[in-house]
Amino acid sequence: MEQKSIISITNLTKEFPVGKGHFTALDKVNIEFGVGEFAGLVGPSGSGKTTLLNIIGSLDTPTTGDAIVMGQSISKLSHKQSALLRNHHIGFIFQTFNLLPVYTVYENVEFALLLQNMSSGERHKAVMEALEWVGLTDKEKSKPSMLSGGESQRVAIARAMVKKPQIVLADEPTANLDSKNSHHILQTMKKLNEELKVTFIFATHDEKVMMYLNRVVNLADGRIVSDERVMNHVKAQ
């Protein structure tokens, strides 16, 4: 199932300037992710999980080395090309949900589709389908301020999934949720992974997330210290 490579990272180094020197966030990282993986980048704070996720999502570029995502070299993409890559192929889920506060649930989910020049009929169908996946069709007119943390993260998942991306990058998606909501969210993502064959990559140090992963990549000080394929502890329901 996870044979075909969708992300290929070679000798990737990322340095950030700090004062007169620099801080190495990622140090010669080599890794590949296949289609339909449910993988996690695990490690303590400062290990480089989020930086790697940002580079895969073309929000950042490597200092040296390269990341090939969907056949496109992240270091060589223009702003416009990387925006197109994100808009069509990559979904993001953030720790703090990052919902747009002045829009309704429906409009938040619809947002990514507005950039794809879809007709309003197609958009409506896609948005309602995405809300159905996460069980929030009854909240379509609510504003984010009226939602619980779990509901907000489910909206964020719907927003990431509505454009049917090949890759979803989730940065600490359960960090702001209680245990019950965390499991609910992870169940939802696992289900989407299995049904739609979407590649999920998490940056996390939450034990609950690790229970769902098929692959755990351990990072420390910007290096991969282990990369294990694991048996699912929890199945999608």
Partner 1 sequence: MIALKLAFRNLLGAGLRTWLNVTVLSFAFVVIIFYNGMLNGWDRQGKRDTQAWEVGQGQLWHPTYDKYDVFSIQDAHGLMETREKQLAVEGKLTPILIAQGTAYPEGRMQGVLLKGIDPEQKILKIPSHLLKQTATAADDATATDGATEVDVHYAIDVHHAIIGKRMAKSLKVGEGDQMLIRWRDKNGTFDALEVKIVAVFKSDVPSIDNGQMYLSLQTLQQMMDMPGEATILVSGTEEINGNLGNWVFKDLDFLFTELDEIILSKRAGSMIMQSTLLLIALLAIFDTQILSIFRRQKEIGTYIALGMTRAQVVGIFTVEGGAHSILAALVGAVYGIPLFMWLAAKGITFGVDDMGITMAETIFPYYSLGLIAFTTLFVIAAATIVSYIPARRISKMNPTDALRGKVN
Nearer to partner 1 by Cβ, of 5 and 96: the residue is: 96
- Residue 68 is a binding residue for partner 1 (CB under 8 A): no
Nearer to partner 1 by Cβ, of 113 and 209: the residue is: 113
- Residue 146 is a binding residue for partner 1 (CB under 8 A): no
Answer for which of 111, 140, 149, 187 binds partner 1 (CB under 8 A) is: 111
- For 12, residues 6+ apart whose C-beta sits below 8 A from its C-beta are 26, 28, 29, 30, 52, 55, 62, 64, 65, 66, 67
Answer for which of 75, 98, 137, 142 binds partner 1 (CB under 8 A) is: 98
- Residue 164 is a binding residue for partner 1 (CB under 8 A): no
- Residue 88 is a binding residue for partner 1 (CB under 8 A): yes
- Residue 120 is a binding residue for partner 1 (CB under 8 A): no
Q: How far is the CB of 1 from partner 1 (least distance, A)?
A: 28
Q: Which stretch binds partner 1 (CB under 8 A): 5-13, 37-45, 95-103, 215-223?
A: 95-103
